[in-house]
Homo-oligomer: A and B are copies of this chain.
Amino acid sequence: MIPSTRHRFLAPWFLALGTWLFAVTPGTSPLVAQTQPPTPARYALAIHGGVGTDPAKWTPEQRDARTRSLTAALRIGQRILAEGGSSLDAVERVIRQLEDDPVFNAGRGAVLNAEGHHELDASIMDGRDRSCGAVTGVTTVRHPISLARLVMTRTRHVLLAGTGAEQFAEKMGVEQVAPDWFTTDHARRGWEEARRQQNQPVPDDRPKGTVGCVALDSHGNLAAGTSTGGLTYKMPGRIGDSPIVGAGTYADNGTCAVSCTGVGEHFIRHVVAHDISARMAYRGDSLADAVRHVVHQTLKPGDGGVIAVDRQGQIVLEFNTPGMSRGAADSSGRFTVDLGR
């Protein structure tokens, strides 16, 4: 009789639980849809300003400057998405802001290569149809991310390099600047230090930072973009993962949008951004599982970090370095900016 007594005792609780689940599962109950106000369209946004050094070793002024810069950029993207703008516009606009900010290693503030020149790389991808554009080795274009978008929309090509990219920029009438416009004291000091050390890896505790942005807009579309000055004292012509679709940037409405930062060579070798998408598409991994596996199993400690968003608006910010400058915002009210672990 004990089992039967238990059933009689538990049955009303299960019924109540079932009713509650039915009521709170979104979209399953026409009654709920009729009686609740329409929820605002979902959007989500994440940004990064690079990895590499431990924020605990920066000065308070350096930490404050980064936090202010990330906050300002995040607000710009959030406003675009909240007003119903496209993820592609949010990604481009946020990265333009970060490119102009001398705090980051992209656009103004970019590092110098072994010959003391700037070579800028950027890429952007549209998750709707996987169209994409990228530029590498650009020296005079103020906003490489916008040139990358023009490669995507105005040419039959995906990736343009060096003087060819500059010629295209002229033809498109995008803003060009003298190369020294990009140079900051910070980048110059990093270069001089590297030169003194004869191209050996420089133990450098100052902040650095490729920049990137991923977004889901209220229309359900994903986009991703990345922009960088590369590595201090890199060989001229060295291309990292930032302008490589599949490595540093990837977006597919079916899975996720990804932007990477770190030692680009490892991100190319493991095709990191596409690998995260493929793990979701073919293994059924969640975004968090896919990103964590790649950052902590495939890559090695110190290699870098990833920001990603999926089509449900889940945001993942993961890194295997002492810090990653990052921010996240979404339509539920989330708004966070962080530097360290």
A interface residues with partner B (beta carbon < 8 Å):
130-132, 136-137, 155-165, 167-168, 234-240, 244-247, 250, 264-265, 268-271, 274-275, 278-279, 282-283
Contacts and interface: CB of A to CB of B under 8 A. Distances in A.
Copies of this chain, complex-wide, total 2
A132 to B, nearest CB: 6
A34 to B, nearest CB: 41
Given A160-B239, A279-B282, A246 B234 contact: no
A124 to B, nearest CB: 12
A269 B137 CA distance: 20
A265 B162 contact: no
Contacts of A163: 236-237
A235 B269 contact: no
A130 to B, nearest CB: 5
A237 B270 contact: no
B265 A246 contact: no
Contacts of A282: 278-279, 282-283
Contacts of A279: 278, 282
Closest 6 CB pairs of A and B: A164-B237, A278-B278, A164-B236, A282-B282, A246-B271, A161-B237
Given A246-B246, A278-B282, A136 B235 contact: no
Contact of A274 (B130, B167, B239, B278): B278
A156 B278 CA distance: 27
Contacts of A278: 274-275, 278-279, 282
Given A131-B269, A157-B265, A162-B162, A239 B275 contact: no
Contacts of A158: 239, 264-265, 268-269
Nearest to A156: B265
B269 A271 contact: no
B137 A161 contact: yes
Contacts of A275: 274, 278
Given A136-B239, A269-B130, A271-B274, A234 B161 contact: no
Nearest to A138: B237
A132 B269 contact: yes
Q: By CB atoms of chain B within 10 A, which of A131, A156, A239, A240 has the most?
A: A239
Nearest to A282: B282
A270 B268 CA distance: 15
Nearest to A237: B164
A162 B155 CA distance: 21
Contacts of A130: 269-270
Contacts of A235: 155, 157, 160, 164, 167-168
Q: By CB atoms of chain B within 10 A, which of A157, A164, A237, A240 has the most?
A: A237
Nearest to A160: B237
Contact of A239 (B156, B159, B234, B240): B159
Contacts of A239: 136, 157-161
12 contacts: A130-B270, A136-B161, A137-B161, A157-B234, A158-B268, A160-B237, A244-B244, A246-B246, A271-B274, A274-B274, A275-B278, A282-B282
